[in-house]
Amino acid sequence: MKRRTFILSAMAGAAALTIPQQASAAVIDGPATAGTRVVPMLPGRGPYSHVSTVDQLRAAIASTTNGGTIIVADGTYAVPDGAPIDLSGAGGRWNKPLTIMAESVGGVTLTGAQSFVFANAHDIVISGFVFTQSTTIEVAATCQAITFSRNEFRLADIEGMHCMMVRADSTVIEYNHFHSKSTLGIFLGVEGAGSTEMAENVHIHHNYFSDHTFPGDNGGEPIRLGVSPRALSSAKAVVEYNLFERTNGDPEAISVKSSDNTIRYNTIRDSGGGIVLRHGNRTRVESNHIIRGLRGIRIYGNDHVIVNNYIGETADTAIVLGAGTLRDHYEGEPANSRNKNDAVDRVRVALNTIVGNAGGLSGETHRPVPPADCVIVDNIIEGNSGTLASVPTGTGFTWSGNILWGTAPDGDLPATGFTRVDPLLERDAADVLRIGAGSPAVNAATQDHSAVVRDDIDGRRRTGAADVGAHELSSARARREPLTREDVGPHAP
């Protein structure tokens, strides 16, 4: 999966390059419209076709059966209503996809009710377009390995309309910009076939999600992985290196309603939504930055790992361990049961830095089934409001090695589970509070975390006894940092 993604990313990223115009270019024989040109094959890339009308694009797609690249000349193209660009049955090979790319990134705008439609398509890259359509872009469950790379999505702002819905395995959504919505509807959803299945191995990375201003309290998520009936289906999605700014359409910026996902290396800044494991089990939330937003991380379900995250200066409790209406979801349960909250069981919360929020870590109490058997170890929790750590109805918890500081009360964790000492946090150039030299957090972890995590939030190796919190004090070069606008979206390097 990683090798494939690298190849597709590299190929799609070439949209910004100038394609050589060669004197020997020939007119396509057969169904293609006269004037469509083929540039001789380049190693590993297939033939290049240049098109400048929607009809030429349709013809080039029909004539490309084994991979290749179709370059659409810059301009605005009106796709006729009722006659979208049909990619049914089209595709390439895993190492030579059919790539349909704008002449320059952002240089081609598609207008009309629909743009591309997909059914039984495979190994296709769509790159460099601006989508403005008034219907949801659907990647059907009958498809495989469809990549959207370096596109801009500013669809019509229609109440209840989603921007994109992915149902196909091995879909890649990379280096795109989703923005400017003020109504009900999500930017990007991942579901699957039928009513309970999930698309598997979807990779969502280096996208920029911004400016969703829907004022409601539900239904405006930037990313939603599943819906309630799909909670127990294993998606194995990877959501990484995405930036969220001013995404205020929902309390959940990344909403997980499926199982076995990885949410890592994302930055959520100045946004109303947090990371919420709403349904499902065994998801890993690792090394994310949540900075000056409204919410942090909220958790339901079983066997999740919450490690190396930084949650700073939000207007709500940083980490919430959910109570449930039932203990667990199960196969065959009544349909009206699947949308209920299931209590947190066996969740590990370790090596996180929680600072300056309206509250630290808390367990819910307004549902009858309490959290159980969770491990809360080696975190820094500092704050002056709310309560630092409180799970009043939880059972079977393990607490150790946490550092608490600030004027907020400690809460109800056992005295053996924490030390009250100033962690000596210092604000860095990225507006993140981290431990400095002389911090009591250095080498102070009480558990061996090497089987769970090897590095810190910045990608620095954790050696020996880990430092408490998300950061490891080290002179090594950071391999990651909070994302900025320059790191993501269509024009990122």
pLDDT, residue 240, reads: 98
pLDDT, residue 336, reads: 83
| Neighbouring-strand partners of residue 204 | 173, 239
pLDDT, residue 45, reads: 55
pLDDT digits (tens, 9 = 90+) for 96-132: 999 999 999 999 999 999 999 999 999 999 999 999 9
pLDDT, residue 488, reads: 98
Q: Which residues 6+ apart lie within 8 Å of 245 measured at CB?
A: 208, 209, 210, 211, 269, 270, 271, 485
pLDDT, residue 269, reads: 97
What does the domain layout of the chain look like in residue ranges? Answer: 311-486
C-alpha distance from residue 448 to each of 167, 309, 345, 400 (Å): 39, 18, 21, 12
pLDDT, residue 46, reads: 60
Positions in the chain short of pLDDT 70 = 1-46
pLDDT, residue 8, reads: 38
pLDDT, residue 91, reads: 96
pLDDT, residue 232, reads: 96
Instruction: Show the 3-state SS of the chain.
Output: CHHHHHHHHHHHHHHHCCCCCCCCCEECCCCCCCCCEEEEEECCCEEEEEECCHHHHHHHHHHCCCCEEEEECCEEEECCCCCCEECCCCECECCECEEEEECCCCCEEEECCCCEECCCCEEEEEECEEECCCCCEEECCCCEEEEEECCEECCCCCCCCCCEEECCECCEEECCEEEEECCCCCCEEECCCCCCCCCCCCEEECCEEEEECCCCCCCCCCEEECCHHHCCCECCCEEECCEEEEECCCCEEEEEECECCEEECCEEECCCCEEEEEECCCCEEECCEEECCCCCEEECCECCEEECCEEECCCCEEEEECCECECCCCCCCCHHHCCCCECCECCEEECCEEECCCEEEEECCCCCECCECCEEECCEEECCCCCCEECCCCECCEEECEEEECCCCCECCCHHHEEECCCCEEECCCCCEEECCCCCCCCCCCCCCCCCCCECCCCCECCCCCCCCCCCCCCCCCCCCCCCHHHCCCCCC
Q: Which residues 6+ apart lie within 8 Å of 16 measured at CB?
A: 104, 105, 128, 150, 491
pLDDT, residue 18, reads: 34
Q: Which residue has the tokens 């949410």?
A: 263
Predicted TM-score of the model (pTM) = 0.91
